[in-house]
Amino acid sequence: MATGYEPLNTLKPIGKDIWIVDGPAIRFYGMPFSTRMTVVRLANGDLWLHSPVAYDAALARALEALGPIRHLIAPNWIHYAYVGAWQEVYPEAKAWAAPGVAERAEKHGVAMRVDHDLRGDAAEAPWRGEIKQRIIEGSKIHREAVFFHEASKTLILTDLIENFEPEKIPWWMRIAGRFGRIIAPDGQMPRDMQMSFMGHHDTLRAGIEEMIGWEPERIVIAHGAWFEGDAVAELRRAFRWVLR
């Protein structure tokens, strides 16, 4: 299933020591969601894979040419589907999971090993000083780990913003997407996710304001068109419903 972001399974550099990889679409609620992985090469040469796309042997060889695959990041309770497949090939790689991932994977019979839980506002030791992180709290269901690659000034999100381009999705998905507020150029947090933060906007706002304070220049997201510039303005636009 194509995603509109071909070539798929191909490393696309977006800065020094940071790449994106667009993968095959995955079905979610019956809709074809594009997938995107972010790859960071740490100062020691190790590779950090955020929201891994479906395993592909040719992609794996291209990654090996950059460095050893050491860290597999499952950033929220939805984005863990392919971690197990990469673990099978790279058993030495450590899987880091946001709150709720391990429980959901077990519930749905998805085989994966969680080596470490992603914690609150302190970056984990292997990437401390290179990638900032925070768990966005306040939702009844959705807790997402967000990351900021300092050297390239890249903010790495997953589902907090979705930005589907109308011409790249089926017509019926456009209708649902407009209702859900996830259609470019005004992609936002999906409406159902917004509702899950009701009563806890202050907590969400604090997380958004911290991301703005990081002063990112670009934002990578998992679904749809990512933001190659004006990142702070895009954050203010996408979260205008919760920012004061």
The DSSP secondary-structure symbol of 223 reads S
The full set of domain ranges for the chain reads 12-238
Can you give the pLDDT at residue 230? 98
pLDDT means per 10 residues in the chain (244 residues)?
82 98 87 93 98 97 98 94 96 95 86 90 93 95 96 98 94 92 97 96 97 98 97 98 92
What CATH class is the domain 12-238?
Answer: alpha beta
Both tokens of residue 22? 């667009």
Contact 75, 145 (CB under 8 A): yes
Structure tokens given for 219: 């934002």
Torsion-angle region of residue 62: left (phi > 0), alpha (psi -120 to 50) or beta? alpha
**pLDDT score at 110:** 85
pTM: 0.95
